[in-house]
Amino acid sequence: MEKKKLDTLMAAISTASPFLGSILRGARIVKADGGPWPAATDGRRTIYLYPKFFELAPAEQAAVLLHEVLHLAFRHHNRRRENSYLWNIATDSVINTMLKEEGFALPEGAITTDVVSEIIRRHPAEVKRMSAEEIYSLLLRHAPDVKLEACGLHVEEEGGGDGDKQDQSIPQDQDSKSSEDRDDDEHWHGVLNRAVVLARLAGRSKESIERAFDLMPPSQSWTSIFKQTLVEGLGRVVVQTWLRPSRRLPQLLPGSRKLTVPDVRFLVDTSASIDRTQLSKAITIVYSVTRKINSRIFLYFWDVDCYPIGIVKKTDIITKVKIKGGGGTLIAKALKQVAKDIRAGDIVIIITDGYIGDLNQDEVQRMFSIIQMKSSTAVILTSAADIRIRGWRTIKI
């Protein structure tokens, strides 16, 4: 009887929203005993329904099922941040807003991006376009101690409302994931692809549906993209001189050429909005580069000021480098310092959460342009807000 009711419910969901119905079919749904909440997931492809689920009204059951499957589809357990409570708020607000836009009823007081916009004092339309990482970063900056009343479709930090059966504490890089994790990533990317196509064919394409892929981590890992970008930068550094052409080798016009090894300059955001997990990831990136390439590595910490550390070696970055910062987030002084220090053909890498107070100032944009023109490769690694600077490669980490 319960299976028949569940089949009827899923058919009703598919009729109301071909997009969400298609995603729901990508999950395995299992009836389970016990559990203090209506449903939970294994963080991969399975939704567990507990006895409380079958006590709910059909509209509530639909909301619970879709809420859980979107956590799976967006791989939220793999992307979890250090402050799990704020991460729950961020991810729940994204999911519940999508459900609301698709016409599904939410319980009174459910967390949405409208609720978050009041907490972080941003316009609701702006917050609605943000990823969970962007919302998390703003919550961490503006409301790190916020506590919300528990309500339907809101995940408690300890796993009280909805949740994962297995605890996933930090996001994983693609290179460190197991083959099962990579298979799950590919599975859900395929599910979302098919769901979007189906919604378009049904004439039901909406902004929330088209935004679905912005809420997903990239199918190609950011580390792979970064490595490729770094190799390209190292490979294109050729210094050409305008000397008199060689009579023996005229093909070397306009003059002689030689290869050179570029320096790599890291600008690491150490402002107050950077949490321990983000800072640890930044230091790990710098350390990895010092181990893998034969270049001088220059390190600059920055918040409202710039703290040039100088050349760092792989042993120094972990044991000897003292991290400075903790203030606001203004990049002007750091860019001016690097523009002064940079050699032609150097590689410049900025690591930040993307929330830079003076980003759109004319002088800052001019500094970005100067550095980009002098460098062989200019890269921004951002953990939250998307940054687009002409000539710079932006990679979401």
Higher pLDDT, 387 or 169: 387
For the residues 230-249, what does the mean pLDDT come to?
55
pLDDT at 144: 87
For residue 25, is pLDDT > 90?
yes
For residue 167, is pLDDT > 50?
no
For residue 174, is pLDDT > 60?
no
pLDDT at 389: 92
For the residues 373-386, what does the mean pLDDT come to?
90
pLDDT at 159: 42
Of 13-17, 250-254, 278-282, 297-301, where does mean pLDDT reach its minimum?
250-254
**Confidence tier at 307 by pLDDT (50, 70, 90):** very high
**Confidence tier at 256 by pLDDT (50, 70, 90):** very low
pTM above the 0.85 mark? no
Tally of CB atoms within 10 A around 328: 14
**Confidence tier at 340 by pLDDT (50, 70, 90):** very high
Which helix (H) or strand (E) is 174 found in, with range?
none
Peptide bond preceding 254 in cis form (omega within 30 of 0)? yes
How much of the chain, in percent, has pLDDT values that exceed 90?
A: 37
Please write down the long-range contacts of 169-178, taking CB distance under 8 Å and 24 or more positions apart: 169/80, 169/84, 170/80, 170/81, 170/82, 170/277, 171/78, 171/79, 171/80, 171/81, 172/78, 173/221, 173/222, 173/223, 174/220, 174/221, 174/222, 174/223, 174/224, 175/221, 175/223, 175/224, 177/78
Higher pLDDT, 341 or 283: 341
For residue 156, is pLDDT > 80?
no
Q: Tell the residue number behind the tokens 């598919």, with chain if given.
A: 14
pLDDT at 160: 43
- Identify the DSSP state of 218: P
For the residues 197-225, what does the mean pLDDT come to?
62
Helix 132-142 to helix 84-101 angle, to the nearest 10 degrees? 130
Domains of the chain: 2-215 (no CATH), 222-396 (3.40.50.410)
pLDDT at 239: 46
Of 23-32, 255-264, 328-337, where does mean pLDDT reach its minimum?
255-264
